[in-house]
Amino acid sequence: MLDAPVSGGDVGAKAGTLAIMAGGDPAAFETCLPVLQAMGNTIVHCGPSGSGQVVKLCNQIAGGLHLLAMAEAITLARRAGVDPAKMLEVVSAGAGGSWMLSNLAPRAIRGDFAPGFMVELMQKDLRLVLETAAVTKTPLPGSALVQQVLRTLEALGRGRDGTQAIVDALAHMAGEQTP
């Protein structure tokens, strides 16, 4: 048996390019590797059983904080009168670039909140992150903040929107009208 969470969303699943993080017995990993290779192109044995899940939680921490950074950059650009698409063009090419900026920010700017990964699923993952943090006595203030910002969307009935809708949570906090 392996625990083998994935990252890459619906696009990666359809293309067979998922990142797969596996935990479990190394022999079981080697036996299952051909099956995993049919689904992903980055496949890493992370350690004993449970390690794959911990790495998935780490992925969700990084993803959540990148989402928040994306939303803050878009929000500041808009409120300061700068075209967010122009900001995105420059920032994405520099040290602040990320997968979220390249893939989700253009959709957020267009108001396209169709899910690749839903807010409610990210909230489930962040709950698991914070539960693991509590057990391990690990302070994760950024993850807690992202969870609370996403809770704004849930309160607005938008839990099934894509995670890029976080930009609307910040707009709502700034007193702007959101869908």
Rounded CA gap, 162 and 71, in Å? 13
Tokens describing residue 4: 């083998």
**Which amino acid is it at 116?**
G
Q: Is 43 helix (H, G, I), strand (E, B) or coil?
A: strand
Nearest residue to 65 via CA among 17, 91, 101, 89 = 101
Residue 40's DSSP bridge partners are 18
Active site residues: 56
Tokens describing residue 112: 């396209």
Rounded CA gap, 100 and 1, in Å? 32
Inter-helix orientation angle 51-79/166-173, to 10°: 50
Nearest residue to 126 via CA among 61, 74, 175 = 61
